[in-house]
Amino acid sequence: MMTPSEVNQSEYSVLIRTFNSAPTLPQTLVSLNRQSKPPRQYIFVDSGSTDQTLACIPPQSLVHRYVGKEFNYSEALNQGLRLVSTDYVMIISSHTELANREAVKYVLNFLKTNPGIGAAYFDTYNTGLLRHELINRHNFTGFNGLFNTCAVIKVSLLRKRMFRPEVFSAEDQEWAGWLFTAEDQAIARVSGAGMAVNNPRKDSLKKLLNEYVSVAYFTNRKLLAWRHIGSLLNHALKRGTGIGLAKRKFYLLLSFRLMLCHIIRPRGRSRYF
């Protein structure tokens, strides 16, 4: 077991939320251990796994059992963040891998030398060399700010302001909006890391709807404009546009949920997909 001083000397910790993650967690851990700069500490927030998830966890890890009547994305991260004692934390899903061995080192070096950059995340544009572009308040859409699927964040900023539990989905985007406006900092979006998301339910209709509605209400209110809702309805109902049935259904359901946001605050149940 590492001593507290050893933990403090390590540059970053890894925080992973788990729930019956045995099919994918081993690949995630292998990809992290293969990094040229592997993590010195793993922190897991487990929400009552009943499979072999806990058996996959490295023996020197910190394991926290989620506390709460109902699982919440933000609160799970907040509980884990209280155990972090390093300057940087990588938040990564238990079904995500990084193939490029230099990916984390690239991000850490970038964050260390750029005080105006508060975080970085990896996207799925995996061709070419490691490279980045900056997202800030001027080009932030509500969907491109931060992805907790795989992100590295300066812990000092998370100490200032953690994730909001009432943001039932896309808590990462809402936090990015706070960083852009309150701290006037930017976020780096990194390509070429060889990131793979091994989640068979990543395109779940309910997941996509919850994320969009949460972004619209908590992060980018322009998406609640009646003109925008009308455009979505037009996509759902207009024939001869080449839009498939599944996409039409998504636009139709999304339109109605955005309309409801004008009457009541949207609520949703955080869940693993």
User: 220-250, pLDDT tens digit by residue?
Assistant: 999 999 999 999 999 899 876 678 888 999 9
| pLDDT of 192 | 97
Query: What distance in Å separates the CA atoms of residue 91 and residue 153, rounded to the nearest whole number?
Result: 8
Mean pLDDT of 47-72: 95
Mean pLDDT of 50-63: 96
| pLDDT of 243 | 81
Query: Count of alpha carbons within 13 Å of 61, Cβ hemisphere only?
Result: 20
> Contact, 254 vs 213, CB < 8 A?
yes
Which of 64-78, 143-157, 190-204 is predicted least confidently?
190-204
pLDDT(10) > 80: no
| pLDDT of 241 | 67
| pLDDT of 200 | 73
Residue 39 to residues 14, 34, 168, 254, 261, Cα–Cα distance (Å): 7, 10, 29, 40, 41
Q: How confident is the model at residue 201 (pLDDT cuts 50, 70, 90)?
A: confident
Query: What distance in Å separates the CA atoms of residue 205 and residue 65, rounded to the nearest whole number?
Result: 29
Q: At CB < 8 A and 24+ separation, what contacts does 48-51 make?
A: 48/19, 49/18, 49/19, 49/20, 49/21, 49/22, 50/20, 51/20, 51/21, 51/22
> What is the pTM assigned to this prediction?
0.92
Which of 20-24, 81-85, 152-156, 235-239 is predicted least confidently?
235-239
Length of the chain: 273
Three-state SS annotation for the chain: CCCHHHHHHCCEEEEEEECCCCCCHHHHHHHHHCCCCCCCEEEEEECCCCCCHHHHCCCCCEEEECCCCCCCHHHHHHHHHCCCCCCEEEEECCCEEECCCCHHHHHHHHHHCCCCEEEEEECCCCCCCCEEEEECCCCCCCCCCCCCCEEEEEHHHHHHCCCCCCCCCCHHHHHHHHHHHHCCCEEEEEECCCEEECCCCCCCHHHHHHHHHHHHHHHCHHHHCHHHHHHHHHHHHCCCCCCCHHHHHHHHHHHHHHHHCCCCCCCCCCCCC
